[in-house]
Structure 1
């Protein structure tokens, strides 16, 4: 039977070593959590549990360095937890660090085919969607330009255009709307609205309260790597703003 939840996180914990990711020895693996924690290590996330139903739009709130992007990477499967587990019931379209994975010496045309294919889009589907991807990115005149010669704004437009065409039911969005010009951001907003209207699930990290209120109905407030509040978005933003004002 299919799960009623798109995302199920249980007692998630991620430990980092200052300056680099900590490595475990065999002795560490069989030690308790206290025994495994060394003086130069810290927990980016600890004891984080929540569920997300299919079709929900969740905003993740917190100051810089509180574990928001780490949590998205766990859900995306690009980072493994040191404690607990996260189960994702459905494919993921990751709008996080979206310019990663593109190859500098390949052209725009070649990168669209490569990146969409790596995300699992069949070749025939890439061909069918190719023109709409290029037009969305506004790169019709740069199809045969090597990726490394594009401006940073052009790279972001191309990445968003590719990833937002994926059919995956879960969207992970990490500050991607903070870049690019106003006209392109509005285009991104409309595209995300379309995806949400199709019943997609969204996990959204942003410091922009207006964006959070536009897209999300529920919030997760992370403070010092701990889930401080899981509640309707308005309540979460009120708590976050009060804590921020209090210093």
Structure 2
């Protein structure tokens, strides 16, 4: 379903250099940013088969979310390639695509349409989607979303995206938002989707979520894939537990 081969992407970092006193007089204190490139991910290779449940593990800044965006096609690699065979349901920035000037009702139809859901389908599922999003969203469904809290936007976004029939689920810390009741509904929805045979790639710092939903783990350190094995092996590497002789290394 997903094949990454020698995948890499380069970002540009801007830095302001310190001026000497003489340069302050010459340039009038105008600073030109100094550009430096860095690779959040490089030389990454792995494959994900249909029905796999894969946890992406690593510290902040190790390229986990960047990898999901490369798989989703939001970012284009500078090196190598990533091929995805099948439509993707991106549970990433769940309020992305919302227009603050539109109501919740209008945004529901807008975001659903952007992801390929038909108008008849959205009309038929409207009450179910809004009910899933919770009482706050139900009461404010005809209010412009500029008045929504960030949690309300996320709940509505999850409720819409969870309707997608796409075989690949990309999730980035989705279950870290919302109250306990909403998280319980998210868990039940994800378990239902996985029971249907969906493929899951999950970025999370929550070990309970990773072990609950994922059998396989990819551990990243400084943009490099260090471990491609069971989710337990990847978590042990993350925690610095010495690997056993049977532990898997990066897939090539």
The two structures have a TM-score, normalised by structure 2, of: 0.85
Q: Which stretches of structure 1, 4 residues or longer, exceed 6 Å deviation after superposition?
A: none
Distance in 2 of aligned mates of 1:19 and 1:39: 5
Q: Which residue number in structure 2 is paired with residue 28 of structure 1?
A: none
Q: Which residue number in structure 1 is paired with residue 229 of structure 2?
A: 231
Task: Report the RMSD for the aligned CA atoms in angstroms.
Answer: 1.6
Gaps of 5+ in 2: 16-33, 243-252
Distance in 2 of aligned mates of 1:145 and 1:194: 31
Aligned length: 222
**Cα deviation per residue 1:183-213 (whole Å; 9 max; x = unaligned)?**
1111101110000000000000000000000
Query: Contact 2:14 / 2:36 at 8 angstroms: preserved in 1?
Result: no
Gaps of 5+ in 1: 1-5, 21-37
Q: Which residue number in structure 1 is paired with residue 194 of structure 2?
A: 196
Distance in 1 of aligned mates of 2:12 and 2:98: 29
Q: Which residue number in structure 2 is paired with residue 15 of structure 1?
A: 10
- Who wins on radius of gyration, i.e. which is larger? 2
Structure 1 residues 3-82: aligned runs within 5 Å:
6-19=1-14, 40-82=36-78
**Which of 105, 118, 122 is matched with 1:122 structurally?**
118
Distance in 2 of aligned mates of 1:208 and 1:234: 13
SS in 1 for 2:239: helix
Deviates more, 1:46-55 or 1:133-142: 133-142
**Which of 137, 154, 174 is matched with 1:176 structurally?**
174
CA drift at 1:123: 1.2
**Cα deviation per residue 1:38-95 (whole Å; 9 max; x = unaligned)?**
9711111000000000011100000000000000000000000000110000000000
Q: Which residue number in structure 2 is paired with residue 147 of structure 1?
A: 145
**Which of 214, 217, 222 is matched with 2:215 structurally?**
217
**Which of 205, 208, 232 is matched with 2:206 structurally?**
208
Distance in 2 of aligned mates of 1:127 and 1:200: 25
